[in-house]
Chains A and B, each alone.
Chain A
Amino acid sequence: MTATPASRRGGHLPRRLSAAFWFAVPFVALAVIWAIAVELSGVERRIFPQVTDVASAFAEMWRSGDLFTHTGASLRRMGLGVIAALLTGIPFGVLLGSSRVAAAFFAPLLRFSVALAGIAWIPFATLWLGYGERAVVFIVWNAMFFALAYNTMLGVQRIPTQLIRAARSMGTPRHRMFVEVLLPGALPNIVTGLRVGLGYGWRGLVAAEIIAASAGLGYSIFLAQKYFRTDIIIAGMIIIGALWLVIDRALLAPLERRTVERWGMKAVNL
């Protein structure tokens, strides 16, 4: 294998430092403005906590272990839901995309379902599966499934006919088309679907935890609201945001870099 150029992976140290600096500056500025604003406005700190309050709430959650319990519970549910959605949504989408009739039939149904996916199913989920773990995982799966299936279907439909013909004329058996052509060919759209779906799934997770769980980040901030602990609420919100950025940077971005970008396949916007 050819060595990856330094700028691609490791990067030059000064450049990386500068990037980190410019990433941090806005956050530091925001924290300073926040601190000054709370100080000068004289707002009640129970309503709008000071930066330091949030920091100590965070430390408290760390020490008591609540932070890890809740984060762990949320990530576990998210993981289960995402895996279930990948295993079901992508094959279903490929199946629909490879038949024009099936695609024409299911397209409006899927668009309808995408619009409703996730949060709107919480009443059903809790009614059918009871309050708790299963309902939350169901919501994450449901939020992602339709977006993933719909985009996969679009992706398969957009594979150039010539590519499918090329594969067939080189003797690709029908059952191998899925792995050899349809899946990689649809990947740009699958990634789009994954992005959209994960966004819905993450929101669905938080909402479902608020309503239907007894652990997890969504639950913890809602519980804090009942006790008027705004410091804990804001600490929880920051954790939710940071986790999402980690999911995006650690999972989605590398996936995109290694596949769609590496192969020079530009994603088609919806």
Chain B
Amino acid sequence: MTNITPSTSGAGQPHPKPGPPKARFRPWLVRMGENRVVRTFGPFVPVILLWWIIAELEVFPSAFFVGPGTVFEKFDELIAKGILPAYLGDSLERLFYGVLFGMLIGVPAGFIVAMSAWARKLTWPLLMFFQAIADIAWLPIVIVWFGFSLTAVTFVIVYTIVFPLMISIVSGVEQVPRDVVRAARSLGAGRLQVFTEVILPGALPAVATGIRTGLGYGWRALIAAEIIVGTSGVGFLMFDSRRAQEVTGVFVGMIVLGVLWFALDALVLAPFERRTIERWGMIRTAEAGR
């Protein structure tokens, strides 16, 4: 049925309207634009170039702004001394424990609140309120309780992840179509089976969303905690450099954080979302829209 004529059969047809030079560049640009790596990392090339030019022209004093070259040297130095790998390890460890315990608490708690009307009625206002106390505001009291320790930082990250996760799961369970639940019931599924077969997979995308939101906050909490608690970690590296008026270290820290987030997104978050959200056909509108 599809009547695609191979290449241009309409050779006799003139092309008066579209500009010809644009047409020639198009396939090359389009092919470049289709490559995922190019699309993701390409835009950083001109940005780095711009950064380099601004630094070379010395638009800002070098105490405030340094170029890519200086940053790279510092990067090299910090790796050679072993400081950066050690700090990075510390940050990742905190984030790992925070996310792990956050999920271990948040996922079951979320489903309990979602499934029981009573639990919902009693805890919902509290959930809203605890979510509202910005996680970072817990730092002072946590420092009193646990001192300047891994526990203090982990506590704050767990806190940031649990609430968005629970709230997401509740709304995810709510969004499971009632007719699907009824269909499962009428096909002979019991209460438990409805939960494991319908509600759990139906709410998985919400879990993914919740983890992403939670990590967005948890990540910031980690940086803040490292700055304020200040013993080690990438956040500490940045603030320590700032205290010593060494802007280069701040640049190194920012870049490490950015790369770390990209890696986290590409290696952990995005695959998880693909497996859940896209598989259940909830997303895709982003591409179809245009």
Whether chain B is bound by chain A comes out as yes
Binding site for B on A (CB under 8 A): 22-23, 25-27, 29-30, 47-48, 100, 104-106, 108-109, 111-112, 114-116, 118-120, 122-124, 126-128, 154, 157-158, 160-161, 196, 199-200, 202-204, 206-207, 210-211, 217-218, 221-222, 224-225, 228, 230, 233-234, 236-238, 240-242, 244-245, 248, 268-270
Cβ–Cβ contact A123 & B253, under 8 A: yes
Q: List B contacts of A112 (CB < 8 A).
A: 44, 258, 261-262
Q: List B contacts of A47 (CB < 8 A).
A: 144-145
Cβ–Cβ contact A106 & B129, under 8 A: no
CB proximity of B71 to chain A, nearest CB, Å: 13
CB proximity of A9 to chain B, nearest CB, Å: 22
With A112-B258, A112-B261, A154-B286 as contacts: A127 and B250 at CB distance below 8 Å: yes
Q: List B contacts of A233 (CB < 8 A).
A: 140-141, 144
Cβ–Cβ contact B141 & A119, under 8 A: no
Q: Which residues, 119 to 162 on B, are CB-close (under 8 Å) to A?
A: 121-126, 128-130, 132-141, 143-145
Cβ–Cβ contact B136 & A203, under 8 A: yes
CB proximity of A92 to chain B, nearest CB, Å: 15
CB proximity of B201 to chain A, nearest CB, Å: 17
Q: List A contacts of B129 (CB < 8 A).
A: 27, 241-242, 245
Cβ–Cβ contact B44 & A108, under 8 A: yes
Cβ–Cβ contact A23 & B144, under 8 A: no
With A47-B145, A127-B64 as contacts: A26 and B136 at CB distance below 8 Å: no
In the complex, 7 of the A-B residue pairs with CB atoms within 8 angstroms, ordered by the A residue number, are A109-B43, A127-B242, A160-B289, A161-B290, A200-B216, A203-B224, A238-B133
Q: Is B193 an interface residue (CB 8 A)?
A: no
Cβ–Cβ contact A207 & B132, under 8 A: no
Complex Cα gap A109–B223 (Å): 20
Q: Is B107 an interface residue (CB 8 A)?
A: no
Q: List A contacts of B238 (CB < 8 A).
A: 120, 123
With A120-B254, A123-B250 as contacts: A203 and B135 at CB distance below 8 Å: yes
Q: Closest residue of chain B to A118, judged by CB?
A: B220
